[in-house]
Structure 1
Amino acid sequence: MNFKMPKAWKEAYKEELRQYRTSLNGLNLPQAWRHLERAHIIGQYHPVPHTAIHCRMLWFGLRSANLTEVFGQILRIAGGWLGSLLNRIPVGNTGGANVYIFARMPIPEDLRELLADADVEAKGLAGIKRKPR
């Protein structure tokens, strides 16, 4: 179970949120959304940050009157935390309602080193690689 986010991940996650707020305040909505997606890719391994991003995505959908996004985020909020808790998430998934909820996606190149412990080899839902005992 993934309760404690590594320091480097937390810093990258917070930086994406900072960039999200800056873009949102500047009314650059496509850029703001992109930073939410990137924060999702980083945070989806941990239940609290994962759920927090989906809540922000829900708020974004409400602000933009995008009912597809609103309903999609409600579903993701309801179940996403459990996948994080059990280390069973669609690695690389950007989290928006425009993406199938269980679709694995490539991790952006600039995040690959940070997320080096992500299990990109597994089939289906994965998460952080298990350390050998």
Structure 2
Amino acid sequence: MNFKMPANFKKAYFAELDKYKTALNENRKEDAWLYLERAHIIGQYHPVPHTGIHFRMLVYALKNWETKEIVGQVLRLLVGWFGSLMNRVPIGNTGSANMPILARKAIPEDLLGLLANADTSRTGLAGLK
């Protein structure tokens, strides 16, 4: 179980959130959403950051009245934390309602070093080794 987020994960996670806030302040909505997705890829291994990112995604969707995203984020808020708690997540998943909830995706190149312990050898749900 991954209760405590390591310092290097925290640093990367909060860097993405800082970029998200900057993009929002500059009205670059597409970039802002991308930074939330990247924060999700990093934070999904730990229940509190994982839940926090889905909450931020929900707030974003509500502000922009994106119905599909609102419904998707409510669902993810209800169940996502449990996968993190059990160290079983869809590696590389962006957390967006446009991506199936259990679908895996390749980890972005610049995050590979950080997520080197992600168990990419498994099919289906996996976690940190």
TM-score normalized with structure 2 length = 0.99
Q: Deviations over 1:32-66 (max 9, x none)?
A: 00000000000000000000000000001001100
Does residue 14 of structure 1 match 2:14? yes
Q: Distance in 1 between matches of 2:82 and 2:121?
A: 21
- Deviation string 1:57-104 (CA, Å, 9 cap, x unpaired) is 000100110000000000000000000000010000000000000000
The letter for the 2-side match of 1:115 is L
The 5 A counterparts of 1:13-92 are 13-92=13-92
Percent identity, aligned pairs only? 59
- SS, match of residue 14 in structure 1: helix
Q: How many residues align?
A: 129
Distance 1:78 1:37 in 2: 18
**TM-score between the two structures when normalised by the length of structure 1:** 0.96
CA distance in 2, matches of 1:6, 1:112: 16
